[in-house]
Amino acid sequence: MRKEIPLAIAFVTGFVVLLEYFFLPAVPASKAWATMLQQWGIVVSGFAMFVAATNLVLVNVKKMDPKRNKEWYNPVLLLVFMFGMAFIGLFVGERTATYQFLFTKMYQPLGTAMFALMVFFIASAAQRAFRAKSVEAALLLAAGIIVMLGRAPVGELAGSWLPNLTNWIMNFPNVAGNRAIMMGAALGATATAFRALVGIDRSYLGVD
């Protein structure tokens, strides 16, 4: 029963949501059931965040040993800021100056700087990977360079043709390619979801 009950839960919940969508959109009760299950899903996935936080605590507590870890203070910092942010947000209030300070003066600058850093790594990877050795590679390189130049102020200095060409690439070949990927991925996602719902794919149950 350890596997049968979860398989039944997945099948029934999936079936109720799909039933409302495909077969019974006109029946109010089916819509109410499907909406309720989706709202329950939001609540259950909210608890998943706390499972993740518990796991983060367990992993980092193990790393706090100064004998084993030279930088034992890093997990301490992580947990102090995690519990600090959570405590202030939950018990003191989100509108307090301390919470706003942590969010706008630390969380946002750190996040933006971390993502900005990636430009250097993308550029360095591109410098090594972009070699026009085939038609495909040449198209990739040309499209990338045109879009980068067309999106930068320097592109407009070359004339209006470069931003126009960029817009054309974005609106036609790029849309065509992305549409093909999206349609292929949608079919793949449907097949995978169907396999999970009917119990053919049971990998989410893990192993005993």
Partner 1 sequence: MTSDIGIWVAAICTLAMFSFLWKENSIFRSFQHIYVGIAAGYGMVRQWQAINNMAITPLLTKGVTTWIVPIILGVLLFARFFKSIAYLSRWSVAFLIGIGGALSIKILETEFIRQAQATFVPMNSFNNIVLVLGTVAGLCYFYFTIKPSTALLGVAKLGRYVLMISFGAGFGNAVMGRVSLLISRMQFLFGQWIYLIKM
Binding status of residue 179 toward partner 1 by CB under 8 A? yes
Pick between residue 61 and residue 182 the one whose CB is nearest to partner 1.
182
CB < 8 Å & 24+ apart, contacts of 49-58? 53/82, 53/86, 56/82, 57/82
Contact range with partner 1 by CB under 8 A, out of 23-31, 156-164, 185-193: 185-193
111 near partner 1, rule: CB under 8 A: yes
Helix, strand or coil for residue 133? coil
Q: Between 52 and 61, name the residue whose CB sits nearer to partner 1.
A: 52
Residues 119-138 that bind partner 1 (CB under 8 A): 119-120, 122-123, 126, 135-137
| 7 near partner 1 (CB under 8 A) | yes
The interface with partner 1 within residues 136-175 (CB under 8 A) comprises 136-137, 139-148, 151-152, 168-175
What does the alpha-carbon distance between residue 89 and residue 85 come to, in Å, rounded to a whole number?
Answer: 6
Closest to 21 measured CA to CA, from 11, 29, 31? 31
CA quadruple 18, 20, 21, 22: dihedral sign = positive
One residue of 66, 128, 160, 208 binding partner 1 per CB under 8 A: 208
Distance of CA 96 to the CA centre of its chain: 29
Judged by CB under 8 A, the chain residues 9 through 48 that form the site for partner 1 are 9-18, 21, 36-48
